[in-house]
Structure 1
Amino acid sequence: MSEYAHPEALVETSWVADHLNDSSIRLIEADEDVLLYEVGHIPGAVKLDWHVDVQNPLSRDFIDQEGVDKLLGGWGISNDTTIVLYGDRNNWYAAYAYWLFTQYGHKNLKILNGGRAKWEAEGRQYTKEVPHFSPVTYHAQPADESLRAFRDQVLAGLGDSNRRLIDVRSPQEYSGELLHMVNYPQEGAQRAGHIPGAKNIPWATAANPDGTFKSAEELRSIYEGKDITPDKEIISYCRIGERSAHTWFVLTRLLGYENVRNYDGSWTEWGSLVRSPIER
């Protein structure tokens, strides 16, 4: 993994297996299918339910600084703990959690390369035992919102020659053929299509069949081939920002791009805004 800009952001299954009893490390499983954890998980891993654990339904935003303190501290995670995130679907929600916890200033974050799929394919140990950790005091930093893009910023930048938008949804969602791929009522939009000028690079393009990330050379070819280059301001989006967080991770951690933001309002917001411009 030394080919990547930040190889420390990834760990392999063998590394995790060797550190299962390391008290300075906390495994967090974050799945798209939130029922998988109960089926079996890596020993010592806690469950992050993206439906409830990191969402504020009243403000339709993430939990605040105090909420992060309570969440991570409740799992026995201190500011010095190394967090290793993993999950299903090529680590889709693991990358989402990585992006969120980065905003709140946690330094020691890693993703298990290949996630659940690779761990299972290698026949490694699973358990149904839910671990319990003594709560500790955690101090999150104020959210660094330079990692996020908001609708007014996206709208104001349309036509900017130095900006590139990446729509990481499926080609069918991008073209407007489908309104959304997954039937989550809270994630519906009124219209189908994409933000004007956005390039379509589906998020899973960055992954190998076994769920691991493609090589740095392959990744550069994918993104630079669509004029997504390090000198540009990049904004990624999908439906609610989870798949686009995966692309944010690839660009910032694996390729070293320095100016990348995730528009987590994404198509659920944009596709329902009155007079927001769209293309099909």
Structure 2
Amino acid sequence: MATQSLVTTQWVADHLDDPDVVLAEVDEDTTLYDTDHIPGAIAFHWREDFQDPVRRTFVGPRDFAALMERKGVSRDSHVVFYGGNNNWFAAFAFWYFRSYGHERLSLMDGGRKLWELENRTLTSAPPTRTVTSGYDPPALNESIRVRRDEVLERYVGSPDGVALVDVRSPAEYHGEIIAPERLPQESAMVAGHIPGAQNVPWEHVVHLETGQFRSADELRELYADVGATPDREVVTYCRVGERSSLAWFVLHELLEFPTVRNYDGSWTEYGSLIDVPVSRPAGGDEGGTA
């Protein structure tokens, strides 16, 4: 049976005792998880678990496989992600696991916010999953990820057949601020956006009161309005790749666009590169861009 990319809170509630399903709460810190979480859920810390401890990049294939084994995840496990921040980091985890070839993945619509709004069960009890073995180190799937060199060579300016989608806030996109006020440590050297990128803020794809995604028709129209259509290569980016993973999920998994890639270097990388074109409507353009 095919795995659904998006599942409801009720689906999760119905599968709490399913040994085939691994619930995983993912966020930028695990303080809230430590207080309470969905029964049986394991925790992933976005930076400590998924990022190399020295460089800003993925952990290597062997380290990823070892992480899966420590967490009790096998190659055949159906991993269902959820989290706070309207599922930003849960969507990043979905994209990250897909990049490493794990097939059976889902995102819980509405994330932790909706689960709490519905007064569903939470617990502080630690999960009791058994450590596994034999998770073969995976090869990285580059078809859904894009690196800075390719961004510079192929995507700057949104040439024919390409749609660049910047999912940050309008203030970040226009160069009025470099990073959200609560995340000043994750900022680039300059403000602005990649030339040719269109702004579709992440919050436009969800109902903020519940965290649930908008309808497929609404989402399709939202992206079509900025030229992001199924016949184009679409590249999403934000500040560090987590908000853009939410957009990637919408476009790739919900709308089933054939070619969607997430630029996880995003603006913290691009906005700190030397001598690259930058558009900054709020304060003039840099590098000769128009």
State the Cα distance separating 1:224 from its structure 2 match.
0.5
Corresponding residue for 2:226?
Answer: 226
State the Cα distance separating 1:30 from its structure 2 match.
0.5
Runs of 4+ off more than 3 Å:
182-186
How many residue pairs get aligned? The number is 275
1:66 aligns with 2:50: no
Gaps of 5+ in 1: 1-5
Per mean C-alpha deviation after superposition, the further-off stretch among 139-148 and 111-120 is 139-148
Corresponding residue for 2:259?
Answer: 259
Say if 1:95 and 1:249, in contact at 8 Å, map to a contact too: yes
State the Cα distance separating 1:184 from its structure 2 match.
4.1
Corresponding residue for 1:199?
Answer: 198
Per mean C-alpha deviation after superposition, the further-off stretch among 182-191 and 15-24 is 182-191
State the Cα distance separating 1:139 from its structure 2 match.
2.0
1:168 aligns with 2:201: no
State the Cα distance separating 1:182 from its structure 2 match.
4.5
Q: Equivalents in 2 of 1:117, 1:163: separation in Å?
A: 34
State the Cα distance separating 1:202 from its structure 2 match.
0.7
Cα deviation code 1:135-181 (max 9, x no counterpart): 11212420101211111111112242111111100000000001100
Say if 1:75 and 1:132, in contact at 8 Å, map to a contact too: no
Corresponding residue for 1:10?
Answer: 6
Question: In structure 1, what residue type is equivalent to 2:214?
Answer: K
Corresponding residue for 2:270?
Answer: 270
Q: Equivalents in 1 of 2:11, 2:172: separation in Å?
A: 37
Corresponding residue for 2:287?
Answer: none
Corresponding residue for 2:53?
Answer: 57
Question: In structure 2, what residue type is equivalent to 1:149?
Answer: V
Question: In structure 1, what residue type is equivalent to 2:166?
Answer: D
Q: Equivalents in 1 of 2:83, 2:55: separation in Å?
A: 27
1:83 aligns with 2:79: yes
Corresponding residue for 1:139?
Answer: 136
Q: Equivalents in 2 of 1:186, 1:107: separation in Å?
A: 34
Say if 2:187 and 2:268, in contact at 8 Å, map to a contact too: yes
Q: Equivalents in 2 of 1:183, 1:223: separation in Å?
A: 28
Q: Equivalents in 1 of 2:141, 2:109: separation in Å?
A: 26
- Secondary structure class of the residue paired with 1:83: strand
Say if 1:42 and 1:126, in contact at 8 Å, map to a contact too: yes
Question: In structure 2, what residue type is equivalent to 1:192?
Answer: A
Say if 1:32 and 1:93, in contact at 8 Å, map to a contact too: yes
Say if 2:235 and 2:260, in contact at 8 Å, map to a contact too: yes
- Secondary structure class of the residue paired with 2:10: helix
State the Cα distance separating 1:19 from its structure 2 match.
1.0
Gaps of 5+ in 2: 281-290
Q: Which has the higher contact order (CA 8 A, sep 6+)?
A: 1
Question: In structure 2, what residue type is equivalent to 1:190?
Answer: M
Per mean C-alpha deviation after superposition, the further-off stretch among 149-158 and 41-50 is 149-158
Question: In structure 2, what residue type is equivalent to 1:193?
Answer: G
- Secondary structure class of the residue paired with 1:194: coil
Corresponding residue for 1:155?
Answer: 152
Corresponding residue for 1:3?
Answer: none
Q: Equivalents in 1 of 2:65, 2:82: separation in Å?
A: 21
